[in-house]
Amino acid sequence: MAVLSWLAEQRIQEAMRSGEFDNLPGHGKPLELEDLSGVPEELRMSYMIMKNAGLLPEEVTLRAECVTLEGLLLACHNSGGEDNIERRKELQGQLSLKRLRLQMLIQERGLESSAAYPDYGDKLRARLAGMEE
């Protein structure tokens, strides 16, 4: 194995000397690493696979929608007015439906009994609400 590592290092050094790495995208810029600290270690691989495939679990989407609706409700409460009363009722109804669907999904998938889910769920809620730890 040491021979393969040495050979790989020699090829990398040779490519660097010949300038093969000079025009790569992002050259000279810091790497944008994914922060997975809020994802339990045992879920990270599956999370990255799903994220890279453009798939998000429905509960993640629902949580994000709930946070958005909560923000809209707060904005309606802060601005007052007759038009906002109807809008608040509409938003509250949408939020209630989303929360109900989310609770049903959590129960259907048995997530409330998962050891990792409560901790992950709290971190996910905080991140979606913009209160990263």
pLDDT tens string 28-68: 788 777 767 666 788 788 878 887 888 877 877 788 788 88
Q: Is 66 exposed, middle or buried (0-12, 13-18, 19+ CB in 10 A)?
A: buried
* Residue ranges making up the domain that contains 100: 58-133
In a domain, 53, yes or no: no
In a domain, 8, yes or no: no
In a domain, 2, yes or no: no
Count of domains observed in the chain: 1
Cα distance between residue 76 and residue 90, in whole Å: 11
Give per-residue pLDDT as tens, 85-101. 888 889 999 999 999 99
In a domain, 35, yes or no: no
Contacts of 106 (CB under 8 A, 6+ apart): 59, 112, 117
In a domain, 25, yes or no: no
Entry pTM: 0.50
Residue whose pair of structure tokens reads 């958005």 in the numeric block: 68
